[in-house]
Amino acid sequence: MPNPATIAIDGPVAVGKSAIGSLLAQRLGYRFLDTGAMYRALTWLALELGIDLEDEKALEELALGANIELAAEAVMVAGRDVTGDIRGEEVERGVSLVAKVAGVRRALVAKQQQLAQGGQVVMAGRDIGTVVLPHAELKLYLAASPEERARRRHLESVQRGEKAHYEQVLAELKRRDKIDSERALAPLQPAPDAKVIDTDGLNIEQVLAEIMGIIGGC
For residue 218, being part of any structural domain is answered with no
Pairwise CA distance, residues 16 & 208, whole Å: 11
- Assigned domain for 209 exists: no
Residue 118's pLDDT is what?
87
Tell me if 149 sits within 8 A of 142, measured CB to CB. no
pLDDT(93) > 80: yes
- Domain membership of residue 208 (yes or no) is no
- Domain assignment present for residue 94? The answer is yes
Going by C-alpha positions, the residue among 57, 142, 148, 157 that lies closest to residue 107 is 57
Please give the average per-residue pLDDT across 117-129, as a whole number.
94
Integer Cα distance of 76 and 74 in angstroms:
6
How many domains does the structure of the chain reveal?
A: 1
pLDDT, tens digit (0-9, with 9 covering 90-100), for 25-36: 999 999 999 999
More confident of the two residues 1 and 28: 28
β-pairing, 75-77 vs 138-143, is unpaired
Mean pLDDT of the chain: 93
DSSP 8-state code for residue 118: T
User: Is residue 72 assigned to a domain?
Assistant: yes
pLDDT at 51: 98
Spatial distance between the Cα atoms of 141 and 11, rounded to a whole number of angstroms: 5
206 occurs within a structural domain: no
User: Is 106's pLDDT higher than 80?
Assistant: yes
Residue 216 lies inside a defined structural domain of this protein:
no
Please check whether residue 185 lies inside any domain of the structure.
yes
Mean pLDDT of 74-100: 92
Rounded CA-CA distance 49/30 in Å is 35
**CATH assignment at residue 88:** 3.40.50.300
Residue 58: give the domain boundaries.
6-200
